[in-house]
């Protein structure tokens, strides 16, 4: 263990230490104010974000973690994203009085799980990261169990995430059985006689498919999106999905030359089904959170289109798409948090009628994020789709790209429907009281990033280039 | 020494058995038990493979698995207890609050 290793480990240790410190504060004899707790949590997150800047890339911690530009970008992004989630939680009325020490420390533990997952170079550390991310989410989804559907959502997520973890782990164990190694980089060198490896990779894909809600493994997503408190929905709709996706990108970018041919039809199938099913189910959805759940199933289909290209353009496109999708979702959920009622979310689309006119900043922010999700230039969503479909065409998957473009056109219909409701003439009777500043800050930053990354995509792509 | 294929077959059987329990039983506790059986199949695979390859990675995987699963089940059991506390039921049929909403609701 060298001191350089310790510096490399800081971004993983700091959030976890922060979580423990906050738990210790909770048994402090004197009552600690929520303001002090949240300041502590935010400090640890910002320290963790700063620590990523100390990294010497490319580096590694043993053979477990690899430290490169991808892990730096995403770790930084997760730290700041988790800070945004905390800001959203303080502005979210239904659980405002339930924000105890445990809530903050669970978010911190989940953050350190995400950081572990994006830089893992070994299947065991990936598994530990995946579970450090998932287990806090069970509890966070069921936060304040008296909310409508909270317990049900928590149980559904717990069962499905454990189910997914079992598939993932079975894949890991079989990959180990076929090659005698758990190292991601060494999986490549496994001899061609290993017939178990395709089965193993397929099982790992199924596990990840459940975690990120790719069709046909998406059935849980709308229920969980609806049941979780909106800040937590934002956490797993944007950050946790991006973290799992980065691991998927790392796995598929190994190329695995011997089984890539066998894997391609599977990837194509999942991509096609995800795009079509996601968009079709979103078309007539009346509940905004469920609509967003289905739309993100479709978006993950687009990301798989980019990944199945199997070239470096596809990899860059998938990474760009993962970051921008996370920012756009964060923006949309920030608006949902801002518009929330005193005791529960606005569920039905009709409850949002005319709110965009009354609160122009929030309305415009929501509009821009939704148009970015639909893929209108000059937003980041457009560039992401352009890169993804461009990579697919470059690799010769023209049919897949055409289906994806048709689906994008289809998706405009329901995004525009939401915007139409938001800016309609008549106003909803359900009253609202906007008090919080946190969500407003998050939505403005998300808006700037969505447009900025759309006009200057090289901000992000330039970082990925090897110097 | 037992050949690798035998232990892999038994492990696969365990995994499928657990899968069947998860898919067929309707009681929440049985579903959790089924998940545990699935994970035990995984653990058997990893141990057998570790013995076959003669390195410790498989055993490390099993120890990590046991630790993580314990944490996971602890949280899941609390949720099941909460469900029992609130709905007086421990079957999945009781959990039907969240559903599709494609029709325009009149409220």
Residue-wise pLDDT for A288-336, tens only, equals 999 999 999 999 999 999 998 888 888 999 999 999 999 999 999 999 9
Q: Which CATH number fits domain B4-89: 1.10.287.3510, 3.30.70.120, 1.20.1540.10, 3.10.580.10?
A: 1.10.287.3510
Asked whether the beta carbons of residue B45 and residue A149 sit closer than 8 angstroms, the reply is no
Q: Nearest Cα to A112, choosing from A185, A33, A29, A15?
A: A15
pLDDT band, residue B91 (cuts 50/70/90)? confident
pLDDT band, residue B67 (cuts 50/70/90)? very high
% pLDDT > 90, chain B: 66
pLDDT exceeds 60 at position B105: no
Asked whether the beta carbons of residue B68 and residue A174 sit closer than 8 angstroms, the reply is no
Q: What pLDDT score was predicted for residue A407?
A: 94
pLDDT band, residue A130 (cuts 50/70/90)? very high
**CB-CB neighbors (< 8 A) of B53 in chain A:** 176, 180
pLDDT exceeds 50 at position B107: no
pLDDT band, residue A135 (cuts 50/70/90)? very high
Asked whether the beta carbons of residue B64 and residue A124 sit closer than 8 angstroms, the reply is yes
Closest residue, chain A, to B59 (C-alpha): A173
Q: What pLDDT score was predicted for residue A433?
A: 65
pLDDT in tens, A144-200: 888 888 899 999 999 999 999 999 999 999 999 988 888 888 877 775 556 788 889
Nearest to B79 among A138, A169, A173 (CB): A138
% pLDDT > 70, chain A: 96
Q: Nearest Cα to A54, choosing from A37, A41, A72, A36?
A: A72
Q: Among A121, A142, A151, A350, which would you mutate to test the B interface (most chain B Cβ atoms within 10 Å of its Cβ)?
A: A151
pLDDT in tens, A261-273: 888 889 999 999 9
Q: What pLDDT score was predicted for residue A390?
A: 93
Asked whether the beta carbons of residue A149 and residue B98 sit closer than 8 angstroms, the reply is yes
pLDDT exceeds 90 at position A34: no
Please report the number of interchain residue pairs, chain A to chain B, with beta-carbon separation below 8 angstroms: 145
A286 Cα to chain B: minimum distance (Å): 5
Ranking A303-317, B61-75, B82-96 by mean pLDDT, the lowest is B82-96
**CB-CB neighbors (< 8 A) of A158 in chain B:** 72, 75-76, 79
Nearest to A155 among B28, B72, B102 (CB): B28
Report H helices in A142-228.
150-179, 184-187, 196-212, 221-227
Cα separations (Å) of B3 from A147, A200, A307, B8, B48?
A: 53, 20, 38, 9, 9
Cα separations (Å) of A236 from A39, A230, A418, B23?
A: 23, 10, 22, 25
Average pLDDT of the residues of chain A: 89
Asked whether the beta carbons of residue A128 and residue B82 sit closer than 8 angstroms, the reply is no
Q: Which residues contact A403 (CB under 8 A, 6 or more apart)?
A: A272, A275, A276
pLDDT exceeds 50 at position B35: yes
Asked whether the beta carbons of residue B68 and residue A223 sit closer than 8 angstroms, the reply is no
**CB-CB neighbors (< 8 A) of B49 in chain A:** 173, 176-177, 180
B1 Cα to chain A: minimum distance (Å): 16
pLDDT in tens, A101-121: 889 999 999 999 999 999 999
The CA radius of gyration of chain B, in Å to the nearest whole number, is 19
Question: Which of the two residues, A62 and B54, has the higher pLDDT score?
Answer: B54
Q: Nearest Cα to A437, choosing from A44, A90, A7, A18?
A: A90
Q: Among A177, A288, A428, which would you mutate to test the B interface (most chain B Cβ atoms within 10 Å of its Cβ)?
A: A177
Asked whether the beta carbons of residue B71 and residue A135 sit closer than 8 angstroms, the reply is yes
pLDDT exceeds 70 at position B102: no
**CB-CB neighbors (< 8 A) of A223 in chain B:** 98
Asked whether the beta carbons of residue A177 and residue B52 sit closer than 8 angstroms, the reply is yes
Asked whether the beta carbons of residue A227 and residue B79 sit closer than 8 angstroms, the reply is no
Q: What pLDDT score was predicted for residue B104?
A: 46
> What is the sign of the dihedral through the CA atoms of A359, A364, A367 and A368?
negative
pLDDT exceeds 90 at position A92: no
Closest residue, chain B, to A164 (C-alpha): B35
pLDDT exceeds 70 at position A255: no
pLDDT in tens, A326-374: 999 999 999 999 888 877 788 788 888 888 888 888 999 999 999 999 9
Residue A320 contacts residue A387 (beta carbons within 8 Å): yes
Q: Which residues contact B101 (CB under 8 A, 6 or more apart)?
A: A285, A286, A287, A290, A347, A348
Question: Which of the two residues, A388 and A429, has the higher pLDDT score?
Answer: A388
Asked whether the beta carbons of residue B79 and residue A170 sit closer than 8 angstroms, the reply is no
Q: Nearest Cα to B44, choosing from B14, B19, B23, B76?
A: B14
A177 Cα to chain B: minimum distance (Å): 5
pLDDT band, residue B40 (cuts 50/70/90)? very high
């Amino acid at each position: 263990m060298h001191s350089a290793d310790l510096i490399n480990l800081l971004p993983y240790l700091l959030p976890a230490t922060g979580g423990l410190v906050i738990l210790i504060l909770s048994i402090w004899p004197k009552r600690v104010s929520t303001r002090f707790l949240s300041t502590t949590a935010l400090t640890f997150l910002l320290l963790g974000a700063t620590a990523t800047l100390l990294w010497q890339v490319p580096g590694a911690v043993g053979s477990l973690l690899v430290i490169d530009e991808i892990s730096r970008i995403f770790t930084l992004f997760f730290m700041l994203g988790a800070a945004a989630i905390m800001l959203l939680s303080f502005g979210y009325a239904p659980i405002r009085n339930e924000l105890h020490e445990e809530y903050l420390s669970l978010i911190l533990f989940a953050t350190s799980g995400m950081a572990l997952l994006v830089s893992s170079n070994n299947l065991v550390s990936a598994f530990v990261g995946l579970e450090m991310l998932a287990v806090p989410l069970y509890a966070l989804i069921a936060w304040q169990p008296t909310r409508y559907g909270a317990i049900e959502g928590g149980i559904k997520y717990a069962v499905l995430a454990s189910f997914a973890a079992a598939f993932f782990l079975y894949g890991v164990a079989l990959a180990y059985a076929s090659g005698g190694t758990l190292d991601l980089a060494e999986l490549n060198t496994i001899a061609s006689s290993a017939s178990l490896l395709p089965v193993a990779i397929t099982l790992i894909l199924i596990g990840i498919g459940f975690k990120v809600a790719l069709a046909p493994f998406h059935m849980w997503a709308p229920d969980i999106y609806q049941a979780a408190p909106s800040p937590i929905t934002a956490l797993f709709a944007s950050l946790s999905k991006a973290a799992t996706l980065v691991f998927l990108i790392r796995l598929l970018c190994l190329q695995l030359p011997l089984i890539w041919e066998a894997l391609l039809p599977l990837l194509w199938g999942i991509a096609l089904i995800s795009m079509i099913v996601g968009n079709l189910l979103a078309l007539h959805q009346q509940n905004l959170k469920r609509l967003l759940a289905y739309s993100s199933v479709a978006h993950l289909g687009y990301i798989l289109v980019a990944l199945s290209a199997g070239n470096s353009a596809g990899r860059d496109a998938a990474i760009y798409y993962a970051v921008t999708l996370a920012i756009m979702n964060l923006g949309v959920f920030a608006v949902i948090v801002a518009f929330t009622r005193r005791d529960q979310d606005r569920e039905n689309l009709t409850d949002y009628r005319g709110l965009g006119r009354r609160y122009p900043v929030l309305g415009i922010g929501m509009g821009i994020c939704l148009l970015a999700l639909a893929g209108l230039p000059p937003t980041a969503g457009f560039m992401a789709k352009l890169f993804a479909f461009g990579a697919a065409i470059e690799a010769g998957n023209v049919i897949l790209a055409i289906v994806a473009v048709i689906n994008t056109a289809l998706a405009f219909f329901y995004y525009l429907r939401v915007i139409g409701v938001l800016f309609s003439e008549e106003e909803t009777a359900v009253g609202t009281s906007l008090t919080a500043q946190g969500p407003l800050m998050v939505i403005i930053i998300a808006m700037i990033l969505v447009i900025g990354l759309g006009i200057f995509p090289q901000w992000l792509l330039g970082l990925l280039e090897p110097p | 020494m037992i050949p690798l294929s035998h232990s892999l077959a038994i492990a696969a059987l365990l995994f499928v058995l657990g899968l069947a329990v998860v898919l067929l039983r309707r009681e929440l506790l049985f579903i959790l038990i089924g998940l545990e059986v699935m994970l035990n199949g995984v653990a058997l695979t990893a141990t057998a493979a570790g013995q076959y390859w003669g390195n410790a990675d498989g055993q490390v995987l099993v120890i990590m698995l046991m630790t993580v699963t314990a944490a996971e089940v602890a949280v899941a059991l609390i949720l099941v207890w909460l469900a029992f506390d609130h709905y007086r039921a421990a079957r999945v049929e009781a959990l039907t609050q969240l559903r599709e909403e494609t029709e325009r609701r009149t409220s």
